[in-house]
Amino acid sequence: ASSTAHKQQDINHLLDKIYEDTKYPDLQEIAKNFNPLGDTSMYNDQGAAAEVLMKELNDHRLLEQHHWYSLFNARQREEALMLFAVLNQCKVWHCFRNNAAYFREQMNEGEFVYALYVGVIHSKLGDGIVLPPLYEITPHMFTNSEVIDKAYSAKMTQKAGTFNVSFTGTKKNKEQRVAYFGEDIGMNIHHVTWHMDFPFWWQDSYGNHLDRKGELFFWVHHQLTARFDFERLSNWLDPVDELHWDRIIREGFAPLTSYKYGGEFPVRPDNKHFEDVDGVAHVHDMEITENRIYEAIDHGYITATDGHTIDIRQPKGIELLGDIIESSMYSPNAQYYGSLHNTAHVMLGRQGDPHGKFNLPPGVMEHFETATRDPSFFRLHKYMDNIFKKHTDSFPPYTHDDLEFAGMAVDGVAIDGELITFFDEFQYSLINAVDSGESIEDVEINARVHRLNHKEFTYKITVSNSIGSDHLATFRIFLCPIEDNNGITLTLDKARWLCIELDKFFQKVPSGTHTIHRSSKDSSVTVPDMPSFHSLKEQADNAVNGGHDLDLSAYERSCGIPDRMLLPKSKPEGMEFNLFVAVTDGVKDTEGHNGDHDHGGTHAQCGVHGEAYPDNRPLGYPLERRIPDERVFDGVPNIKHVVVKIVHHP
Ligand SMILES: [Cu+2]
């Protein structure tokens, strides 16, 4: 068996300078001499998946190298998934590594990187490996053209350099005020990784069921939308408006970003009328799909392919709704309900060249790592979020009895430390963006970005347990706006849909009154800063050379809001928000799950790898249903909210 250190080293080498042939002799040797069909006993499927891919390769049907790649392109996705299937069928690491090394030199680089990432994430063999941050593997997808050009020039002239990345747009564009959110490299990683953890193309025949994928699809995007609105509120902007197929797309977008191969990302001008996109969909088809989904919500059931109906006015309803809206392979009837989300991404991505007259490459909306740059991403997701809201609003509100956790009371909620946000400076390497030459040495080339950050703080939650014994409790912490951007006080029913989840954790509460301390660092919503590619290489090499093992488990998951972005930016003069804490019965909430109450530490929005989602309650509980009468919440001792102030230090 290979140690984690060896595996990590293999992955590092496979991803180094992805647009060039590998420079590592062992990988060169494999690429030349390995035969994927040589020993089929190394696969669970006796080489069936490898045979499929080898046939495509030998028939010269695979996409060439040095060409753009998009997951939303059906044929390109099919090819990437052929390689994923091969890697996923491997029983042993050398099978995984050898196939990766072989197909690295045969397949399109974008397809290869995608297949390798989802392979490491979903194969048991990938456990313990930390995937390098994508912004250092495919920097073009995260860095604007101006800085990439400077990187090329630095390489040509052999002058090391660190170049400032500015956010897209100018002050004449109000949307630019919140570009720091959609263009944050950590946020981009969160979004692309979530979609790798819960791919829409996933089928359970790959090995396991992805628990609550449809509901998580709703919740993760709902949270992105709510967080974006918090940033808008912090910057004197109206909440994001929803997209409508029959209205103009008010905000245009100029990405000022280029593919490594394939030219510039297309521009969409302001005030564009939605146009039919050749080969993708008619606007009218999108309206029909939307109507069918609204009809299902109003009926309270969806119709499966064989005509039988499935009730959605039940706890699993939101899950099914997520599956049909995305749509994922879990959709019970993709033929009828279409794929509103995925098709809308492509429709928006193509509005700059809807008839393919200019042969432009896919738009930023057609990649999960670039989509959030475009303000229309949030418009699209606000639109879909409102569809989900219509569904959750069809449920009866929670009653006092539903909400009460008898014997448990929250006596006080406070913050230890100040809630302060600021912008930090961060550098990442652009060395993988530029080409190598025989006689041209690499020089250090970095991008410098500004990222939203905050000071660490601790929640102090005082709880009285009068049950008579220790009891497991679930702590659900949200931050909710008090006023809208016009200064009008929001009702709890209005505010609840705008709340952002700050943390959710399970903890035993001893009998009596105790104060629970919880650090912002430990939030199950967030992930820490990822180690750089350079550091991953150094750590793996040192471990391999020194013969010791490597433990990078703290960084294994990169799905999660960046820890730095836990709090909204707020304003220099400070803004007040409601800190909302609901304590619920952890024994009931986690019934049927394992007793490890940490669950990997990133479960809130990203679940637990290979396991069921650890919380039995609906995502967003108890704020996901309408609250016509706030007194119901005020009368429950286990729910409390206090006013907190967040201050931005410019
Ligand atoms: Cu998404």
Q: Order of strands, edge to edge, in the sheet holding 500-509?
A: 161-164, 445-454, 419-429, 639-648, 575-585, 471-481, 500-509
327-336, 384-393, 593-602 — which is least confidently predicted? 593-602
> pTM of the predicted model, to two decimals?
0.97
pLDDT-based confidence at residue 400 (cuts at 50, 70, 90): very high
What is the whole-number distance in angstroms between the Cα of residue 221 and the centre of ligand 1?
Answer: 6
Q: What percent of the chain has pLDDT over 70?
A: 100
In angstroms, the CA 617 to CA 315 distance is 9
* Interacting residues of 483 by C-beta distance below 8 A, sequence separation 6+: 489, 490
84-98, 291-305, 409-423, 552-566 — which is least confidently predicted? 552-566
What is the whole-number distance in angstroms between the Cα of residue 116 and the centre of ligand 1?
Answer: 20
Query: What residues are designated binding site for Mg(2+)?
Result: 400, 523, 526, 556, 601, 632
Give the pLDDT confidence of 215-248 residue by residue, as tens digits.
999 999 999 999 999 999 999 999 999 999 999 9
Query: What residues are designated binding site for Cu(2+)?
Result: 191, 195, 221, 341, 345, 381
* Statement: residue 1 has pLDDT above 60: no
AA identity, residue 633: F
What is the whole-number distance in angstroms between the Cα of residue 591 and the centre of ligand 1?
Answer: 30
Domains of the chain, earliest start first? 4-129 (1.20.1370.10), 145-394 (1.10.1280.10), 400-419+455-525+560-648 (2.60.40.1520)
What is the whole-number distance in angstroms between the Cα of residue 156 and the centre of ligand 1?
Answer: 37
In angstroms, the CA 379 to CA 94 distance is 45
* Statement: residue 618 has pLDDT above 80: yes
Mean pLDDT of 123-142: 97
Mean pLDDT of 392-397: 97
Give the pLDDT confidence of 443-453 residue by residue, as tens digits.
999 999 999 99
- Phi then psi for residue 608, to 5 deg, are -125, 130
Query: What residues are designated binding site?
Result: 191, 195, 221, 341, 345, 381, 400, 523, 526, 556, 601, 632
With CA atoms as reference, report the closest residue to 201 among 126, 115, 134. Answer: 115
pLDDT-based confidence at residue 282 (cuts at 50, 70, 90): very high
Q: What percent of the chain has pLDDT over 90?
A: 93
Mean pLDDT, rounded, of the chain: 96
What is the whole-number distance in angstroms between the Cα of residue 225 and the centre of ligand 1?
Answer: 11
* Statement: residue 2 has pLDDT above 70: no
CA 76-77-83 angle, 5° bins = 95
The residue with tokens 């959605």 is 312
* Statement: residue 309 has pLDDT above 50: yes
Q: What pLDDT, on the 0 to 100 scale, is given for residue 595? A: 75
Mean pLDDT of 431-460: 92
Q: What pLDDT, on the 0 to 100 scale, is given for residue 553? A: 86
DSSP β-bridge partners for residue 6: none
DSSP E strand stretches across 262-406: 301-303, 309-311
What is the whole-number distance in angstroms between the Cα of residue 20 and the centre of ligand 1?
Answer: 30
DSSP string, 365-393: GGSTTTGGGSHHHHHHHHHHHHHHHHHHT
In angstroms, the CA 482 to CA 643 distance is 9
